[in-house]
Copies of this chain bind each other. A is one copy, B any other.
Amino acid sequence: MKRYRFVGFDDSFRNDRASIVGAVTEGSSYLEGVLVDSIAVDGFDVTDRIISMLGRSKFRELVHCIFLSGITFGGFNVADIEVIHEQLNIPVVVVMRRRPNFDDIYSALKNVDGFETRKNMIEKAGPVFDAGDVFIQFKGCGLEEAREYLRLASLKGNIPECLRIAHMIASAIIHGENRGRA
């Protein structure tokens, strides 16, 4: 049986300190790797950071799909999933528990600099699809493939285990112990 490896990225931040974590799992349960780095709160470096974290990793050629916990990290540091896919040549799937309200998001974006740049990256991520328990955007694959990766990567519900784990680690790095949900 084919072994699928997935990496999930999530972040946590407090004040001006933001940690981004990648958790690599085999399928939906076995943790094989952990990647840790920092990004700027409300910065513009998360796209490059994700590319470099996975790009320099021993898991670079082994991962079938990259999951992102939402499209914004460390506040409004927006991930450009099109660029991530182009650079790494791996499908990227953004996973959200709720359908995003773009009016609210664009409104909030006005509180930070670089409005057009951030808005552009969010728009580039494409349409939002309902995938059962979660909502997704993706690059480098079609809807059916994205849903299949979700299914293979998830243990309970439709939250990929690698995202759940990445959340716990990032949260613990910033707060001392994991809190909240992925």
Contact = CB atoms under 8 A, between A and B. Distances in A.
Interface in A51-107: 53, 56-58
Given A33-B172, A35-B177, A53-B176, 12 more contacts: A21-B172, A31-B31, A33-B168, A33-B177, A34-B168, A34-B171, A34-B177, A35-B172, A35-B176, A36-B176, A36-B177, A169-B169
Interface residues of A, number: 23
Q: Which of A35, A37, A178 has the most CB of B within 10 A?
A: A178
Contacts of A168: 31, 33-34
Contact of A31 (B36, B58, B165): B165
B34 A169 contact: yes
Interface string A24-45: 0000011101111100000000
Given A29-B29, A31-B31, A37 B176 contact: yes
